[in-house]
Structures are given as structure tokens and as C-alpha cells.
Amino acid sequence: MAIRLYDSLTRSVKELRRPDPNDPSDVFRFYNCGPTVYAPAHIGNFRTFLVNDVIRRLLVLEFGKDKVTHVRNLTDVDDKTIRRAREESRPLAAVTKQWTDKFHADCRALNCLDPHLEPTATGHIAEQVKMIEELMQKGHAYRTADGSVYFKVSSFGGYGALSRVKERELSLGSALAGKPQTVDADEKEDGSDFALWKAWKPEDGPNKWPGPADAAPGRPGWHIECSAMSKKHLGDTIDLHTGGVDLLFPHHENEIAQSECCNGAQFSRHWYHSEHLLVDGKKMSKSLGNLYTLDDLTAKGFSPMALRYALLSGHPRKQLNFTFDSLHAAESALTTIHSFWQSLRGGNGPAGHFDEVVAALKDDLNAPAALGAFFSIVKRGPHGVSKEACDKALFALGLKPDFVARPQKDAPSEIIALADKRWAAKQAKDFATADALRKELTAAGWAMLDGKDGYKLEPLKKA
Ligand code: AMP
Ligand code: ZN
């Protein structure tokens, strides 16, 4: 059974296919917009990254491990990252490294597979500049008096196909053009044109790069980074592009315009957007200040796996309201899964009904149905159930089978990730690695107490 997934461009559920299944060197090209690294990602962001992780897992199951290339970028230069660096009087690279490291630790604790490539915007300035120059040469972009470069939206007939925003936003754009200019609309030929290159301003501090020919030194706009990085690492046409629903407009609409005008080829064959996590009916966001991070939840004693489970319990195309009750329910569901899993004998007996779990995920990522199918098997008991088939279903969901519910005393995600790694090493009887990881934990101020079925973390008393 093929993977079927909603496509935001055609507004229909479509099969995910490799472009040329007969070509053995052909891979499925998957691009997923990554985080802006200026603060910890919140659990709303992680809802989106977990959905993407499940897509990646399904692609691996469907096409094979080496037939998928997953790229997820890091936005390490933009208004927010620069502002944060200025507020903290630190170099931009120091701020973005801190939050990139934290993002990686959180991803590991949530059992997300690493993308194959994780390009950064600052590491791809030359590629972005080249693309901007090409857009200028082809008449799709123009320079303004201050040396910035804008994309000319009216030069691309396909603009608005993804978001159907043309009528709404373009009329707003022309309305803006006739009014006293806002700062942002300053010097744009049309209010809906967007920045490809931003000329340096004093508040950018030391953060500037040589610009496209004729333009001033400065930095790239946000949208061009994804166009340039996906082109470099995946080619002109990719198979699937994803992100949270807020990225659909303007970010993805602008990516399409830039890439298709520059490359003269379709940018992405499939678009997928997952819905937001809400708190009390409002979108969880940094600007509303209503957010939780993974560390906020582990400090309350919840495990990262419980968050993974809770975030997967809603359909990715429906908004999900975050509640602590759902985390409690997730902890108890995981405990049930763990004892079921432990009672399986191993071997590769019949897959039984576990295929239904993967089938539900392949059916437009119906995660609630997948978890439902899992639990109906659990309810029937472990007799005659194949461990291999169970492991495959758990792999698709990304739930760690050796998960143990355990009280955490304020352990941050990087400590939990280390402890999980050490636990896995110990289970695999790799004692040298386990000892080395224990030393790392001790140095970080944590004791790991091993039990029969799992471990506990305790902060070491200060001497
Ligand atoms: P950012 O770091 O702001 O670029 O966002 C990273 C990802 O998180 C993007 O794909 C956003 O669409 C997504 N996102 C932001 N807020 C939420 C939310 N409340 N629920 C789900 N996804 C979100
Ligand atoms: Zn992007």
C-alpha cells in the first residue's frame, strides 16, 4: 500500500511516488522547513517536527533507507536571531549555535531521526546571492535605492496558486502602494513584492555579507534561503515540501515564485502542511507568550516520549489543544505498551494486525487511527504476536519500545537524551559506551540509577 498524503497545492490526497521507480539511483527528495534558532523550540514547533519525522519514517519503510534524502534547514540569520544577538551583546553565531544544540538535544529526546542534511542560511550565502542575481537578470527582481533587492510578484503568473491569496493579498498590496508608505513597503514597486536581499542597517551590527552584483552588502531575506538550499542539495524539483500551516503563506508561496522563476521547473511535486498546536484555543507561539518547552514538561516530571505520544494523538491536519491531561494519559498508555512489548517473545511470526497501524499512517497520516489499531492489538494480549511486526509499528510512530515511564527530577532534555543513550548501550551490553556516558552524566551533575526495567535520574548533591 502506497503512502497517501494530502497535497496543499491540488487540495487532494495524492500518492507519494519516487519520480522514477525504475531508476535504482533515484531517491525521494524531502525538504522540511526547519527552526529559527534564537530560543528553545516550543512544543507547538515540535508538533510540526514530529509529524515530519513520521513522514520520514514512512518514506524509509516505503522506499528503503537509502532511497530517501531528507533535508531540514536551520534559519540562523533573520530579524529575530539578529535582535537576540544584539540584546545579549553576543556574536550571532554564538546565539544560533546555543539554540541549534538545544534543538538537537530536544529532537534526540523526542526520538526524531536526524535529517540527512541540515544546511544553514549563513552557510549558503553564495548560493542565495547567485539565485538573486539570476532572478534580477531574468527581470523577476529589482534593486531599490538603498541597495536591497525585491522580488517582483507581478512578474510571476503562478503567484498565489498554493495559498489562493492572489485576490486578497495583492489587492492589499496595491492599496498599500497608494497610501503613505509603511517602512516595510518603502521603495517597493508594489506592496506585495518581498525582499530577496536586505541592505545592511546599523541595527544589523557586524552581520553583513557581500550582496548580489549592484546591490549593497547586507543579508538574504528569509524565503530565498529555502529555495537556494533545496536547489543545492536536492535539485530543481523536489518530491515533497512540508512545514506548519503558517508557512503556507507567504513563505512557501514565495519559495515557489523564486524557485520556478529562477529554475524554469516545477519546484515541489507535493506540499504538506500540518496544523497548529493550541493552548486554550489560541496558537502556541513565542509572540503570545503562551508556550511550553520540552524542558518545562520534563521539569514537571513528564517524559519526552509522553509528549511525542500526546502530540501524535491528534490528526495532523486538525488543530490540537494541548492539555496536561493528555500527557498523563500518554504516560499511562506508554506504560501499557512497554509491558506488552516486554512480554513479546521475539521472532518473526505473522504480522497479525500490526500492518493496520502502518496502514493508518500511510492513509494521510491518520495517527489517531494508528494508535487505536495499536491498542486493539494490545488489548487482545501478546499471544502469537510477532515482535518484529510490533517493532515495525513502533518504528513508524517513533515510539521507543524500551521506553520506561520514570519520574524525572527536572532533568533537561539533553540529560535525558544522554541517559537514554546510556540505557540503550547497557541493554546492548556495550559497557564501555555505557560507562563513558555515565561519566558525562556525572560531569553534568546527574546520577543515573539503574533498575530492572528502566532508570531514574537524580541531581547529584553539590559538594
Ligand atoms: P519557526 O522556528 O518559527 O520557524 O517554526 C518552526 C516550525 O514550527 C514551522 O514549521 C512552523 O510552521 C511550526 N509552528 C509554529 N508554531 C506552531 C504551533 N503552534 N503548532 C504547530 N506548529 C507550529
Ligand atoms: Zn522554508
Sketch out the chain's domains with CATH numbers: 4-274 (3.40.50.620), 297-397 (1.20.120), 413-459 (no CATH)
Give residue-wise pLDDT tens across range 186-216: 467 888 999 999 999 999 999 999 999 999 9
Whether residue 185 has pLDDT greater than 80: no
Percent of the chain with pLDDT over 70: 91
The single residue listed with the C-alpha cell 524500551 is 402
What is the model's pLDDT at position 319?
97
Give residue-wise pLDDT tens across range 71-106: 999 999 999 999 999 999 999 999 999 999 999 999
What is the model's pLDDT at position 165?
76
Query: For 66, which DSSP code?
Result: G
Nearest to 194 by CA among 260, 133, 142: 142
Atom of ligand 1 minimally distant from the CA of 41: 2
Query: For 168, which DSSP code?
Result: I
Atom of ligand 1 minimally distant from the CA of 244: 12
Atom of ligand 1 minimally distant from the CA of 48: 22
Residue 181 pLDDT class (50, 70, 90 cuts): very low
| Range from 129-143, 305-319, 342-356 carrying the lowest mean pLDDT | 342-356
Pocket of ligand 1 (CB under 6 A): 33, 35-36, 44-45, 47-48, 75, 243-244, 246-247, 276-277, 283-285
Residue 145 pLDDT class (50, 70, 90 cuts): very high
Whether residue 179 has pLDDT greater than 50: no
Give residue-wise pLDDT tens across range 11-47: 999 999 988 878 878 899 999 999 999 999 999 999 9
Look at residue 101 and give its three-state secondary structure.
helix
Whether residue 385 has pLDDT greater than 80: yes
What separation in Å is there between the alpha carbon of 274 and the centre of ligand 1? Answer: 9
Whether residue 404 has pLDDT greater than 70: no
Whether residue 461 has pLDDT greater than 80: no
The single residue listed with the C-alpha cell 529555495 is 227
**Ligand that comes closest to the CA of residue 39:** 1
Q: CA of 92: how far to CAs of 80, 104, 232, in Å?
A: 11, 18, 24
Whether residue 153 has pLDDT greater than 70: yes
Percent of the chain with pLDDT over 90: 71
Pocket test for ligand 1, best of 48, 96, 252 (most atoms within 8 A of CB): 48
Contact 420, 109 (CB under 8 A): yes
